A and B are shown apart, each in its own frame.
Chain A
């Protein structure tokens, strides 16, 4: 089976000097939820930007490797072209148009090659998944709560008719109840619409709850990967991301763990 998304030995350099991603390889199969985990500066968001074509804005570029979507190389395409091929990003910040109403936020999206009937169907579907958006349709997006904004951002991405949804920091700044609701919706969206999801998260607890497969990044490299349940029970993940033992560790012990994590790369 051809992978939906295949990132091969990707290397990204900022301002021709700082290497943020060093030879990352990952695969997303159709209808799969894949989690990309890691601490701040691990290279998660850079990888997502490389896939969605937004590196140029930060004076960064892909210097090595390839990004293939449905078998075709896309790392040199413009963001609009990548969106139109079926990869849609839900960004970490500035995810809605604040001065447009909720309804206008959904209308503004520009899916290519979609009939009016298909567009209507998608609009109805997002209102089924997020009924609150129907209630708030006349409200300006700038006045929505964090959870409502995240709902609108995901709904806006779905209206574009993606085959792959890239979600950057789903849980950032949200209450656990809102995160639980959103992750439940993502699982439904994957199951019912067949949309694959690449989820970038700092919170491993959130991501591994729903991920079929996960990759752990550190210093721009994949140091660990495996299916969701296996990763969740892995001692390093338990210790570093899920707060396993709960006891405070000394620097020496932590350093030892860091070394052991790198062996997986």
Chain B
């Protein structure tokens, strides 16, 4: 039973991060390779807001989440906006450079040592007993619930809200979207904001559960195969991909070797790229020939 709980927790982490990759790719066809760093930035922002709003943990959490959203939109407006109309490769390389830059800046500002925002906020993380003898930490449970809430909200937003429909429209045909008066920069900035918000939320909850240091970025990187395995332009695919990667990882760690943790996601990714390069639920036509 504990095994399945661990799979659910890991799948939730990957899914919460992977939806950020999907959102940006689906709307603008750009692979955001700085997503892991932006996720980590979210957790460092929480560290800062925790010290700013001492005694108001909810306010600190909300402020950090809001800041993550704003940072994402600003990254688009001040950096990626200039790449609109250029080759997609230029935008992807920009995100690589941004990721490296952010990593350095975060070490400069917050240092590379392990830190615990939960202590700064004064929250406990007691384990909760589940039926079947399994246990789950409070923040891990919160992570699962947050992932469910985020996905549900995204589905409702993209399906029923005017701006959500515009985001889907811009992702399908940006030229026609512009002809119909849709502000592409507005839609892209929103996608970047939402993506960084969900990534930041994942980073914050992870940091609350198990602390924060520079290695968190690896988790962001491991969520990338989850998005690819599911299909880069499908949110349901991201959920499915996260579940597959998490299940493979936990089973192999448990039954073979814990050191396989960092290898398994990429092994699954390579297997998927060989068999079905567009992912489980991705659009075949969307993939450029390699």
**A residues touching B (Cβ–Cβ < 8 Å)?**
52, 54, 56-57, 78-80, 83-84, 88-89, 91, 94-100, 104-105, 107-112, 156-157, 160
Asked whether B182 lies within 8 Å of A110 as measured between CB atoms, the reply is yes
User: In the complex, how many angstroms separate the beta carbon of B19 from the nearest chain A beta carbon?
Assistant: 19
Q: Which of A79, A104, A112 sits near B179, CB closer than 8 Å?
A: A79
Give CA–CA (A98, B172) in the complex, Å. 8
Whether A97 touches B184, Cβ cut-off 8 Å, given contacts A107-B162, A107-B165, A108-B165, is no
User: In the complex, how many angstroms separate the beta carbon of B175 from the nearest chain A beta carbon?
Assistant: 7
How many positions in chain B have a CB within 8 Å of any CB in the partner chain?
18
User: In the complex, how many angstroms separate the beta carbon of B174 from the nearest chain A beta carbon?
Assistant: 10
**B residues touching A (Cβ–Cβ < 8 Å)?**
85, 162, 165-166, 168-169, 172-173, 175-184
User: In the complex, how many angstroms separate the beta carbon of A116 from the nearest chain B beta carbon?
Assistant: 11
Give CA–CA (A94, B178) in the complex, Å. 13
Question: Beyond A100-B172, A112-B181: 13 further Cβ-contacts under 8 Å?
Answer: A56-B85, A57-B85, A57-B175, A83-B180, A91-B179, A94-B175, A95-B176, A104-B169, A108-B165, A108-B177, A110-B180, A110-B181, A110-B183
Residues of A within 8 Å of B184, CB to CB, are 80
Residues of A within 8 Å of B166, CB to CB, are 108, 110
Query: What is the chain A residue whose CB lies nearest that of B159?
Result: A104
Residues of B within 8 Å of A112, CB to CB, are 181
Residues of B within 8 Å of A56, CB to CB, are 85
Asked whether B176 lies within 8 Å of A109 as measured between CB atoms, the reply is no
Residues of B within 8 Å of A79, CB to CB, are 178-179
Q: Name which of B85, B162, B169, B179 has the most chain A CB atoms within 10 A of its CB.
A: B179
Give CA–CA (A94, B174) in the complex, Å. 11
Q: Which of B85, B162, B169, B183 sits near A100, CB closer than 8 Å?
A: B169
Residues of A within 8 Å of B162, CB to CB, are 107-108
Residues of B within 8 Å of A110, CB to CB, are 166, 180-183
Residues of B within 8 Å of A95, CB to CB, are 176
Asked whether B176 lies within 8 Å of A91 as measured between CB atoms, the reply is yes
